Structure 1
């Protein structure tokens, strides 16, 4: 990943995410090292300081994978929320970890498990009330 864009995460989201990552089965799984690195580089602010156009947990995000030109609209969820969610993606999925903390217009170069790079651009963010 090169030239990583600045990201912002609320204290609430980072506390919950780091708490989950400290538990088994996530704690010792190297598959989550990239998400851990994202959280470590984030600017952490109070929840009310996160602008409306920033992806946070439970945001509905419209994003484009530039290599394919495909756009997706997904709700960013915690892993345990996935069974009840429709059109959702887990923050622990590779692309979910790429979305957290980005704002509208930002792009990120993200390596997927198949070792291919994808360029993801945030088109729109809808946050829960």
Structure 2
């Protein structure tokens, strides 16, 4: 993961993610994706939902990214694992890409590890951020 950029989480997302991880680790062992997510959460600046800038990725945001290796664009919604559905472009926060993007902002270039090495992508747009639309509890 790219740990150079400042990242922001809402207090609400932080608390929900901590609860999700506690439940997940009761049923499963702590895997690398969960450890990565915990690391990102702990280093993030926590802010009130009403104060997070609209250019930061929060839970349930619809994000457009550009893969810098292939110069192709992708759009997806960042969701909790139970809502994940690749056919509907809903990516789980526990997927490597989901963990990598949480809390970053438009313009950030992010690296994440994939089985074949590392990928780089840039957040090019946030088409929907719940907090920017007054949806503080999605």
TM-score (norm 1): 0.89
Q: Is the 8 A contact 1:57 1:100 kept in 2?
A: yes
- Identify the residue that residue 81 of structure 1 maps to in structure 2: 83
- Identify the residue that residue 14 of structure 1 maps to in structure 2: 14
CA offset digits 1:55-85 (Å, max 9, x no partner): 00010000112112121000000011125x8
Name the SS of the counterpart of 2:5 in structure 1. Answer: coil
CA RMSD of superposed structures (Å): 2.0
Query: How far apart are the structure 2 equivalents of 1:17 and 1:111?
Result: 22
Which of 28, 34, 38 lines up with 2:40 in the alignment?
38
Query: How far apart are the structure 2 equivalents of 1:5 and 1:92?
Result: 20
Q: Is the 8 A contact 1:106 1:122 kept in 2?
A: yes
Q: CA deviation at 1:4?
A: 2.5
Listed as ranges, the gaps of 5+ residues in structure 1 are none
TM-score (norm 2): 0.83
- Identify the residue that residue 4 of structure 2 maps to in structure 1: 4
Q: Which consecutive aligned stretches of 4+ in structure 1 deviate over 2 angstroms post-superposition?
A: 1-4, 24-31
Which of 49, 52, 74 lines up with 2:51 in the alignment?
49
The within-5 A match list for 1:93-112 is 93-112=95-114
Q: Label 1:123 to 1:96 Cα distance change in 2 as closer, same or farther (>3 A).
A: same
Q: Label 1:26 to 1:91 Cα distance change in 2 as closer, same or farther (>3 A).
A: farther
* Count of residue pairs brought into register by the alignment: 128
Query: How far apart are the structure 2 equivalents of 1:60 and 1:124?
Result: 9
Q: CA deviation at 1:46?
A: 0.7
Query: How far apart are the structure 1 equivalents of 2:40 and 2:83?
Result: 21
Listed as ranges, the gaps of 5+ residues in structure 2 are 134-138
